[in-house]
C-alpha cells in the first residue's frame, strides 16, 4: 500500500503559516485501525472493500480513495472513533446521511479519509411546542421529523428543502442549506460537538446543564462558537436544535408566472420591496422554464403512468413533455407562502396583486382550493381538457407540499429526467445520471441578477448545457442561485461538466459574485493560502485539531 500524506501546518520564522507535507506510512495502520473501529462499533457497522462501492458512488462522477465507512450510533462512539483516529493519525470525514447530491455526496475533499456517517444517530430528543423547536441528532431525516409532528398532532411546521425526504436536517443546515421559509443555518442552536481529541463541547448555554434558554438564545455567554461548525472542519456535530414554525391562522401559496422575460429584473426588485415590508416572510423560489420542465415533467409522467398503465412508457414520456409545454408558459415563475392572520393574508394578497399583476399572472392556492379542483376534476374527467388539467394539478401538488412543510422525494426526480424515467425510489448516487450544482449568492437587485444570469447562460450554452436555474430569496437583501448541470456519467461527459463549473466559477468570481456553498471538487479554488482570512481559519484549525483529523481541506487550507 502506498504511503499517504497528512498535511501539517507549521509556523515559519516570519510568523506566517505555510503548508508542508509529512509522510506517514499506513501500510500496517489501516488493518490495525479497522480492528479498533470494529471493537468500538461492531463489525456490521464498519464498511470496507467491495462493500464500500454503493457508498462512494456519487452523482457528481467524482472519485476519491476512501479507506472505510463507519456507522456509529452515539456521541460516545463518535468520541471513541475520533480518539482512535488521532492515535493512528488517520483523517475522518463526517457526514450526516451523505445526500449532499451534486456537491460530492459522501465523498471527502481529499483522498485517504475514513467516512463517518451519522445516519444511525437518528433520535428525536425533544420537540418543544411552546417555543417551536426540535432537538435532534445528526441522522434525523426530514420525513422522520415531519412524521413525528403529524403523529403527535403538534401545531408546528417544519421548514423543508427539496433535497429529499430522507436527507438530514442538520447536515443541510450545517452547510447553510436554504429551505422554503428560512436560511437553515440561522435556525440551529445548542450544538453538541465532538472535538478532534475526542472531548465533547456544548455550544451556547448548553454547557450549563441547568440552563433554561439553551435553544432560545443561541449565543449563550462569551464568544459564540456555533459558527465555527457551520461549514467548518473543527469538530463533528452530533446533535442540535432547529427552529420550527408555529401553524398560522391563514396560509396561502402564491405562484407568479412572468409574462415576458425582460421583466425579470423588475420582478426581482418588487419582490425585494415585498420582503422589505414583511408582506412576504417566506423564501421566494424563482425558477426558469428549464428548471420547471425537469421538475414537473417527471411528475406529470408518473401521473400518466398511473392513469394509463397499459400505454407504452416512451409514449407517455412524450405526452408528459407535450402537456408541460401546453400548460406552462413564461420564462420564469415565482413561488412563495403568505401566512399570518386572515386579515394579514388578505392584505398581503392585495399587495402582491398591486406589485406583480401588471407583469405576471398570479395564482393563489390553499388546501380547500386543491380539494375543490380535485373533486371537480374527478366529476368532469370525461372532458379531455379537464382531464388534462387534473393531471397537471396532481403533478403540481409537489411544489405546494414544500410550501406547507411536507418533505417528498419528488424534486430529486429532476436529476433523472434528462436521461431516463424516474425510478420508484430515487438514488442518484447509484445510477447512470449525473448532476453538478453551483450556488452563487447575488444581491437582491434586478440588474445584478440580470448580469449574473447573462454570464451563467452564456457559459453553459457554450459548453452545451441548458441552464437550469432557481433564484431563492435567502433574506431581503440577497439571492441564492441554484444552477444545475445534468450529464451522463461517462468519462468525457463528467470532465465536460466539471470544466464548465470551473469556467463559470472563474468568470463569476471575477465580477464579484461568489458561491456561498461549495462542491468538493472546486473547494480548493476558492481557498487562497495568501488570504489573511483563510490563514486565520488555518490557525484555528491547528489549535483545535493539531493532528488535522477532521475533514481535511473542507472549507479550510488544511
Confidence (pLDDT) at 244: 97
User: Is residue 555 within 8 Å of 523, Cβ to Cβ?
Assistant: yes
Q: Report which secondary-structure segment, H or E, holds 531.
A: none
Q: What is the signed CA dihedral for 8, 14, 15, 19, rounded to 10 degrees?
A: -20
Rounded to an integer, the average pLDDT of 194-210 is 96
Band the pLDDT of 381: cuts 50, 70, 90: low
Confidence (pLDDT) at 370: 77
Band the pLDDT of 366: cuts 50, 70, 90: confident
Q: Which of 82-86, 153-157, 330-334, 437-441 has the lowest mean pLDDT?
A: 330-334
User: Is residue 283 within 8 Å of 482, Cβ to Cβ?
Assistant: no
Q: Residue 546 pLDDT > 50, yes or no? A: yes
Q: Residue 385 pLDDT > 70, yes or no? A: no
Q: Distance between CA 419 and CA 430 in Å, rounded?
A: 14
- The verdict on domain 432-519 having CATH code 3.40.462.10 is yes
C-alpha grid cell, residue 42: 461492531
Listing from the earlier edge strand, what are the strands of the sheet with 66-70?
Answer: 46-47, 66-70, 113-117, 92-95
Selection from 154, 155, 118, 159 nearest residue 138 by Cα:
118
pTM value is: 0.92
Find cell 464500500 and name the residue. 52
Confidence (pLDDT) at 411: 87
DSSP state of 521: T
Q: Distance between CA 47 and CA 77 in Å, rounded?
A: 16
Rounded to an integer, the average pLDDT of 537-555 is 96
Rounded to an integer, the average pLDDT of 364-389 is 72
Q: Which of 259-273, 342-356, 422-436 has the lowest mean pLDDT?
A: 422-436
The 3-state secondary structure of 152-221, one letter per residue:
CCCCEECCCCCCCCCCEHHHHHHCCCECCCCEHHHHEEEEEEEECCCCEEECHHHHCCCCCCCCCCCCCC
Find cell 428548471 and name the residue. 291
Confidence (pLDDT) at 5: 35
Q: Where in the chain is the domain with CATH 3.40.462.10?
A: 250-415, 432-519
Listing from the earlier edge strand, what are the strands of the sheet with 235-243?
Answer: 124-128, 133-137, 235-243, 188-195, 200-202
Find cell 456521541 and name the residue. 75
Selection from 248, 129, 238 nearest residue 181 by Cα:
248
C-alpha grid cell, residue 327: 400548460
Q: Distance between CA 471 and CA 454 in Å, rounded?
A: 14
* First and final C-alpha spacing in the chain: 24
- The verdict on domain 250-415 having CATH code 3.40.462.10 is yes
How many residues make up the chain in this entry?
A: 558
Q: Is 138 exposed, middle or buried (0-12, 13-18, 19+ CB in 10 A)?
A: buried
Q: Report which secondary-structure segment, H or E, holds 419.
A: none
Question: Which architecture does CATH list for 124-246?
Answer: 2-Layer Sandwich (3.30)
Band the pLDDT of 383: cuts 50, 70, 90: low
Phi-psi label, residue 508: left if phi above 0, alpha if psi -120 to 50, beta otherwise: alpha
Confidence (pLDDT) at 418: 84
Rounded to an integer, the average pLDDT of 472-484 is 96
C-alpha grid cell, residue 493: 461527459
User: Is residue 99 within 8 Å of 165, Cβ to Cβ?
Assistant: no
E strand residue ranges, 489-548 = 514-517
Q: Residue 18 pLDDT > 50, yes or no? A: no
Q: Distance between CA 429 and CA 419 in Å, rounded?
A: 15
Q: Taking all residues of the chain, what is their mean pLDDT, rounded to a whole number?
A: 90
- Considering the domain 4-120+532-544 in this protein, what is its CATH number? 3.30.43.10
Confidence (pLDDT) at 367: 82
Q: What is the pLDDT of residues 52-111, one digit of tens each?
A: 999 999 999 999 999 999 999 999 999 999 999 999 999 999 999 999 999 999 999 999
Amino acid at each position: 500500500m502506498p504511503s499517504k500524506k497528512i498535511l501539517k501546518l507549521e509556523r515559519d520564522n516570519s510568523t506566517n503559516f505555510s503548508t508542508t507535507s509529512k509522510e506517514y506510512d499506513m501500510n500496517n495502520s489501516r488493518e490495525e485501525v479497522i480492528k479498533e473501529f470494529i471493537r468500538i462499533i461492531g463489525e456490521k457497522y464498519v464498511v470496507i472493500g467491495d462493500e464500500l462501492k454503493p457508498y462512494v458512488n456519487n452523482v457528481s462522477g467524482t472519485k476519491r480513495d476512501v479507506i472505510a465507512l463507519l456507522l456509529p450510533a452515539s456521541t460516545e462512539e463518535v468520541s471513541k472513533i475520533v480518539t482512535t483516529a488521532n492515535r493512528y493519525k488517520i483523517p475522518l470525514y463526517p457526514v450526516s446521511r451523505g445526500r449532499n447530491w451534486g456537491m460530492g455526496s459522501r465523498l471527502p475533499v481529499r483522498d485517504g479519509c475514513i467516512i463517518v456517517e451519522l445516519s444511525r444517530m437518528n433520535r428525536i430528543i425533544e420537540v418543544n411546542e411552546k417555543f417551536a423547536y426540535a432537538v435532534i441528532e445528526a441522522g434525523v431525516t426530514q420525513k422522520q421529523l415531519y412524521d413525528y409532528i403529524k403523529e403527535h398532532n403538534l401545531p408546528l411546521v417544519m421548514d423543508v428543502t427539496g433535497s429529499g425526504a430522507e436527507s438530514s436536517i442538520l447536515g443541510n443546515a450545517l452547510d447553510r442549506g436554504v429551505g422554503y421559509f428560512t436560511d437553515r443555518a440561522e435556525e440551529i442552536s445548542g450544538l453538541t460537538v465532538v472535538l478532534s481529541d475526542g472531548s465533547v463541547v456544548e455550544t451556547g448555554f448548553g454547557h450549563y446543564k441547568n440552563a433554561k434558554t439553551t435553544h432560545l438564545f443561541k449565543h449563550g455567554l462569551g464568544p459564540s462558537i456555533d459558527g465555527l461548525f457551520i461549514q467548518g472542519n473543527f469538530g463533528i456535530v452530533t446533535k442540535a436544535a432547529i427552529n420550527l414554525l408555529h401553524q398560522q391562522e391563514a396560509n396561502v401559496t402564491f405562484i407568479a408566472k412572468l409574462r415576458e422575460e425582460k421583466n425579470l429584473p423588475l420582478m426581482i426588485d418588487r419582490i425585494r420591496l415585498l420582503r422589505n415590508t414583511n408582506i412576504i416572510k417566506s423564501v421566494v423560489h424563482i425558477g426558469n422554464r428549464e428548471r420547471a420542465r425537469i421538475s414537473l415533467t417527471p411528475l406529470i409522467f408518473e401521473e400518466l403512468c398511473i392513469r394509463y398503465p397499459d400505454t407504452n412508457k416512451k409514449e407517455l414520456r412524450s405526452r408528459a413533455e407535450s402537456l408541460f409545454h401546453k400548460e406552462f408558459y413564461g420564462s420564469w415563475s415565482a413561488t412563495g407562502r403568505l401566512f399570518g392572520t386572515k386579515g394579514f393574508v388578505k392584505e398581503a394578497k392585495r399587495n402582491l396583486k398591486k406589485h406583480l399583476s401588471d407583469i405576471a399572472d398570479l395564482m393563489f392556492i390553499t388546501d380547500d382550493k386543491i380539494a375543490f379542483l380535485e373533486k371537480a376534476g374527478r366529476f368532469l374527467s370525461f372532458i379531455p381538457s379537464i382531464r388534462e388539467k387534473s393531471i397537471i394539478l396532481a403533478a403540481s401538488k409537489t411544489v405546494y407540499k414544500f410550501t406547507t412543510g411536507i418533505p417528498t422525494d419528488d424534486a430529486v426526480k429532476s436529476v433523472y429526467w434528462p436521461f431516463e424515467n424516474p425510478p420508484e425510489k430515487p438514488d442518484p448516487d447509484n445510477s447512470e445520471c449525473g448532476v453538478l450544482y453551483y450556488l452563487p449568492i447575488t444581491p437582491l437587485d434586478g440588474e445584478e441578477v440580470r448580469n449574473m444570469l447573462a454570464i451563467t447562460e452564456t457559459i453553459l450554452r457554450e459548453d452545451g448545457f441548458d441552464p437550469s436555474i432557481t433564484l431563492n430569496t435567502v433574506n431581503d437583501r440577497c439571492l441564492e442561485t441554484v444552477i444545475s448541470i445534468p450529464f451522463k456519467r461517462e468519462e468525457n461527459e463528467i470532465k465536460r461538466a466539471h470544466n464548465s463549473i470551473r469556467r463559470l466559477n472563474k468568470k463569476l468570481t471575477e465580477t464579484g459574485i461568489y458561491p456561498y456553498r461549495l462542491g468538493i471538487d472546486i473547494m480548493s479554488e476558492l481557498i487562497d493560502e495568501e488570504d489573511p482570512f483563510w490563514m486565520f481559519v488555518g490557525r484555528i484549525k491547528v489549535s483545535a485539531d493539531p493532528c488535522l483529523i477532521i475533514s481535511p481541506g473542507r472549507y479550510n487550507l488544511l
